[in-house]
Structure 1
Amino acid sequence: MDLFLNEVFSFPTIIFTIPLIILTLLWLMAFAGLLDLDILDFGTDSDAGGDAEAGSAGTSWLEKLGLNGVPLTVSLTLIDIYAFSFTYLARKYAAPLFDGVLTATAQGAVVAAFAIVIALPLSALCIRPLRRFFITHEGVAKNELIGTICTLTTLSVSETFGQAVTPDGMVLSVRASSPNTIGKGNKIVLIDYLVAQDCYSVVTESELMAMSSSS
């Protein structure tokens, strides 16, 4: 165990070990409903101005590498897993062959570079069958979804956090006033589209009925 830890926290493996630890924590929090799966997709899905240009550029390089069609979290995780695995094996079995030919730093730099070069196409290959699970629904204006009843998929929803799924499987970012009693699995209604935040304001069905009665 000590030998393994020494390997994964030594250069160049540590370059991919630390991101792998961070990504693992993100996945655990996403599975627990504490984070949105697309938390890293900033700048790749904007609607106006410079943000739209940045989003287009981000999508463009993802498409060129074959890493598009899934959340950026998925792409980065696959790349890091492959790069980490290659680096670990190369450092353990191939690097000793170049002792006396290259310095340890040079060996590490070469191994890390090759790891990324190998990880990108392998990740793109794995992403192909995954795209159908992350279908992008097009042709429906975002404000046309107002009034749709969804199911909250995160543990809670607040002014800054929340995610829900529509009956046809669309995953949406949602927001609600705090404090509230809305929890995972509750039915909520989209009542407004917040353009600046690219998300929906929601209330429970009972709250919507109360609002309708008072008006």
Structure 2
Amino acid sequence: MGLFLSTAFGFPTVLFTPMLIVAAVYWILVVVGAADTELLDGVDADGEAAGLSALMTRAGLLGGSGRTSAESHGERSGARAPVTVSLTLMVGVAWFVSMMGGIMTSLLETTSPSLLLALGAVVLLIALIAAWAVTSGLAMAVARLLPGRRSDSKHDLVGRTCVIRIGEASEGFGRAEITTDAGAEISIHVRTTGGEVLPLGSTALIFDHDRENDVFLVTHFDPALDPGRD
């Protein structure tokens, strides 16, 4: 037990031990329904991965591309593993490898601080490489098993409602907020037509996308016309 604790809280394993504890608490919250597995996933108005999702996608850690050719034609996109799953897997693998490396290092009969530090750095490098390799491979396998999903491309946003933010929306200016199917809130440029002005906080209907100016055309949304309204 003493060897386990000293290794878990010794260099380099101590870099991953707190992360592993956080990951364990997070998944407990997921099990009890207090957290979402797609908590860290994000997409932009084009349906492309954004933020941490984009970074991990480029690193090959989510098993899918940020955007596929199928998406550009309105077809169902290839799925990506959730960011939280890939991060947990990375932390778990890095912790395990560094733990095993730390135990092996502790068996060496040396008390040289510089040598122990150098060996720890080597173990850390091996742990990071192993974490990336294992996560990349498993994420790709998991992504293939997940069903594809439609992206929130600009064309897909037409016909949906948004909320006007930052002043009024007019023919010359407008900013609105919309929630994508993935649950991410994104900000979009909007414009009205025919001299219509939409006040701050009002709900608007997106009826077209102006490709030339890359803005969405909106108009006042009447809740009475909502097909989902009782």
TM-score range, shorter chain: 0.5 to 0.7
Give the corresponding residue for 2:12.
12
CA contact (8 A) 2:43 2:184 kept: no
SS at match of 1:23: helix
- Paired residues for 1:79-158 under 5 Å: 79-94=90-105, 96-97=107-108, 99=110, 102-131=114-143, 132-133=145-146, 135-138=148-151, 141-142=156-157
Spell out, residue by residue over 1:130-167, the C-alpha distance to the aligned partner (whole angstroms, 9 max, x if none): 11226332478256578xxxxxxxxxxxxxxxxxxxxx
Distance 1:11 1:104, change over 3 A: same
Displacement of 1:58 after TM fit? 2.1
- Greater fraction helix: 1
Change in CA separation of 1:106 and 1:2 when aligned onto 2, cut-off 3 Å = same
Q: Output aligned runs, 1:194-205, within 5 Å.
A: none
1:40 matched to which residue of 2?
40
Cα deviation, 1:45-76, whole Å, max 9, x if unaligned, reads 1227xx9875785255233x564411111111
Counterpart pick for 2:183 among 154, 168, 173: 173
| Alpha-carbon distance, 1:208 to partner | 3.8
Question: Kindly tell me: are residues 5 and 100 of structure 1, through their superposed partners in 2, closer, same or farther at Cα, counting changes over 3 Å?
Answer: closer
Q: Name the SS of the counterpart of 2:183 in structure 1.
A: strand
- The equivalent of 1:24 in structure 2 is 24
| C-alpha distance in structure 2 between counterparts of 1:130 and 1:145, whole Å | 31
Secondary structure in structure 1 of the residue aligned to 2:20: helix
TM-score calculated relative to the size of structure 2: 0.53
Determine if contact 2:40/2:52 at 8 Å carries over to the other structure. no
**Shift in alpha-carbon separation, 1:99–1:47, aligned structure 2, 3 A:** farther
- Cα–Cα, structure 1 residues 98 and 110, in superposed 2: closer, same or farther, change >3 Å? farther
Report the CA distance between 1:86 and its aligned residue: 0.7
Query: Which amino acid in the other structure matches residue 136 of structure 1?
Result: R
8 A Cα contact 1:11 1:108, kept in partner: yes
Larger Rg: 2
Identical residues among aligned pairs (%): 24
- Which residue type is aligned with residue 82 of structure 2? P
Displacement of 1:108: 1.6
Change (3 A) 1:192 1:11: farther
Q: CA deviation at 1:82?
A: 0.9
**1:168 — aligned with what?**
none
Check conservation: 2:98, 2:124, Cα contact below 8 A: yes
Q: Is the 8 A contact 2:30 2:37 kept in 1?
A: yes
Contact 1:79 1:120 in 2 (8 A): yes
Q: Report how far residue 3 of structure 1 moved.
A: 3.2
Please list the CA deviations of residues 76-101 of structure 1 after superposition, one character each: whole Å capped at 9, or x if unmatched.
11111111111111111245448367
Q: What TM-score results when the alignment is normalised by the length of structure 1? A: 0.57
Q: Secondary structure at the match of 1:81?
A: helix
Letter in 2 for 1:81: G
Q: Which blocks of at least 5 consecutive residues in structure 2 are unaligned? A: 65-79, 162-180, 186-202, 206-227
2:58 is matched with: 61
